[in-house]
Amino acid sequence: MKCDCDKLPEPPPAPPRYIEGHKLIGPFLHATGLTCRKFTELSVERMDSPLKPLSKLRWILHWLLCDLCRPLPRRLANLRVLMREVDRRGDLADPAAQLPEESRTRMMEALRRESEK
Amino acid sequence: MNPPVSDLQPLTAECLMGESGHLYGYAVLRVCDHHHAEDLVQDCILTAWQKRDSFDGKSSLRTWMIGILKHKVFDYHRKSVRTPSRPSGNQISEEDEEGDMLDKLFNTHGSWKIDPSVGMGFLDESPEQALLRSEVMDFISRCIARLPVRLRVLFTAREFDQMPVPEAAILAGATPGSAAVLLTRARHQLRDCLQRSFLQEP
């Protein structure tokens, strides 16, 4: 299935205060491996395995420095809980999937045979 | 979601078949193959019929049947790991067309191009509160369905079946070494899709 996310609206640009601030510290963060991109990658990575000590230090330092990134780990954790709860309730389903009528008839026939046993 | 069925109302074939459409939607989302999804739903309905006396109405009929279907999906995935004939090559190539999601989100210095917070307020609430919003479940389903096949198989095996990463990687036809990259991509695509979906809301 091809993603049709292009039909959805684009998120707004980063806040001006963030852009101005990162014009100054962006190159430093880039040089030290403490960028927002690295932080998001590590935030996702730590969901599957513990970070190595140096990565963990980078992650903590960035978490302390960057207002825009700070909520990300909590949001990822909440999203995981939310998705598992939706799955537990049995509410997940591909909205585009339609069971073909002939398949429904075939299932009904199999169920009828089973009920006659 | 259907209301709980009382013990006084025995399950009929029609009751079970009434859930077939939703079960099919769930199976398609999880196995990404319409033919196998149909087989799993039929198997689930027959099992539900055989076990109908054990349905106590404490949960809805849908939740009970999805519980049975989850076991079928899990067995299907286990079997697929032992006989790794899927996903096919065409399916695997799909996520390569998506490009690098992170390049769209970050500039060359690794700073955000977009505001990652706008529209994501539902993830600042408790999950219980967030689920009170009817659109949350709908958007999650839609955004998972939009993931390319290999990412979806990997992501759902990891997140819902809570498989270890190496096992989920084999299941998705990925190498364990590339699984971390693919999971990262899946989570960013999902985050991006959810953000845009909520921005679309009036």
pLDDT at residue A1 tops 60: no
B94 touches chain A (CB under 8 A): yes
pLDDT in tens, B139-198: 999 999 999 888 998 999 899 888 888 888 888 888 888 888 888 889 988 999 999 999
Average pLDDT of span B115-132? 90
- Report residue B202's pLDDT band, with 50, 70 and 90 as the boundaries: low
Q: What tokens appear for A87 in the block? A: 């799955």
HSE value, Cβ hemisphere, 13 Å, CA-based, for B95: 28
Angle, nearest 10°, between helix axes B149-159 and B176-200? 100
- Report residue B83's pLDDT band, with 50, 70 and 90 as the boundaries: low
Q: What is the pTM of this model?
A: 0.82
- Report residue A116's pLDDT band, with 50, 70 and 90 as the boundaries: confident
Nearest C-alpha in A relative to B96: A2
Chain A: closest CA distance from residue B159 (Å): 7
Long-range contacts of B130-134 (CB under 8 A, 24+ apart): B130/A78, B130/A82, B131/A82, B131/A85, B131/A86
Q: Which of B1, B112, B147 sits opposite A14 (nearest CB)?
A: B112
Nearest C-alpha in B relative to A10: B196
What is the complex's ipTM, to 2 decimals? Answer: 0.83
pLDDT in tens, A66-113: 999 999 999 999 999 999 988 888 888 888 889 999 999 999 999 888
Q: Which of A48, A92, A103 sits opposite B180 (nearest CB)?
A: A48
